[in-house]
Chains A and B, each alone.
Chain A
Amino acid sequence: MNIEIISGVSVQAYIWLSLILFAIGVFGVLSRKNAIVIFMSVELMLNAANLLLVAFSKMYADTSAQVFVMFTMAVAAAEVAVGLAILVLMYRNTKTVNIDVLSKIKG
């Protein structure tokens, strides 16, 4: 049963879209070595989740979901600021952003 949230587009379409974006993000995280690209993939996943939240907010006519999207954005901004700072630090110490260099936790 398809529920339209905007004329002609069902909520399922949005779910599929955000799932695809999320999976692409996961693939990016897993397949790349460059820490910056991994980071971008994480951002992609966050956005996919945001998209889903907004779609459901539209479906249930509930504003709270959009408020949560705002919070997510704030958290993402903070995360990016700190994360990139860490990356800069890492680059300064190792002269690379390849995460396989950081394998100190090998058992």
Chain B
Amino acid sequence: MGITEIAFYILAAIGVISALVTVTARHPIYSILGLVTCFFSISGHYILMNAQFLGLVNIIVYAGAIIVLFLFVVMMMNLGEIQETSKNLIWKIMAALAAGCLMLVLVAALKVSDNLVSAQPDNNIGLVETLGNVLLHEYLVPFIMTSILLNAAMIGAVLLSNKENKLQNI
């Protein structure tokens, strides 16, 4: 068992456990902590697969920006004090069944699919240089569009977070 294999299993275990913590924790803060742990483990997987750029971006965007956003919101609403009245057991069982059903279907789809064929391994694909080339050559227009999307999201978020009376004034 090589080092990468061991690393994979450790990271996978951390990811699954932290994901479970995320969806089951009673307090939102624990959920957020579970989620950030999960994101870190996923970033670890990216680095394992030599996708260094994505691994870093994942930490910056998800663990950095998004999780902080979540934290702010939770703290702003002071949700910690409100004890969430959990759904009843039947609902949880149904949710588990549905999720399991979906997974079952996907696994079955995987099993009946044609045999996977691998290509010539290339260790450069995840590097910043390669990714940057592809992004700025083949996907230039979508890339610029993304900036517009982010801009729009920003404006929308600002608008929505405004006080209502100001919203009506606009």
Contacts and interface: CB of A to CB of B under 8 A. Distances in A.
Contacts of B51: 54, 57-58, 66
Contact of A71 (B58, B85, B142): B142
Name B's interface SS. Answer: helix
Contacts of A37: 22-23, 25, 28, 31
A59 B150 contact: no
A12 B2 CA distance: 17
Interface in B92-115: 92, 94-96, 98-100, 102-103, 106-107, 110, 115
Contacts of B95: 26-27, 29-31
B16 to A, nearest CB: 6
B2 A28 contact: no
Nearest to B160: A85
B45 A51 contact: yes
Contact of B149 (A9, A41, A74, A85): A74
A86 B126 contact: no
Given A8-B1, A64-B138, A73 B62 contact: yes
Residue from B16, B70, B91, B106 having most chain A Cβ neighbours under 10 A = B70
The number of chain B residues touching the other chain, given as a range, is 35 or more
Residue from A24, A26, A33 having most chain B Cβ neighbours under 10 A = A24
Contacts of B79: 34, 36, 97
Contacts of A12: 110
Interface of B: 1-2, 4-5, 8, 12, 15-16, 19-20, 22-23, 25, 28, 31-32, 35, 38-39, 42, 45-46, 48-51, 53-54, 57-58, 61-62, 65-66, 69-70, 73-74, 76-77, 79, 82, 84-87, 91-92, 94-96, 98-100, 102-103, 106-107, 110, 115-116, 118-122, 125-126, 130-131, 134-135, 138-139, 142, 146, 149-150, 152-154, 156-161, 164
Given A1-B116, A76-B66, A81-B157, 19 more contacts: A8-B5, A9-B48, A37-B22, A39-B70, A40-B23, A43-B62, A47-B62, A50-B54, A51-B46, A58-B125, A59-B116, A59-B119, A66-B54, A66-B131, A73-B57, A73-B61, A84-B69, A85-B156, A98-B85
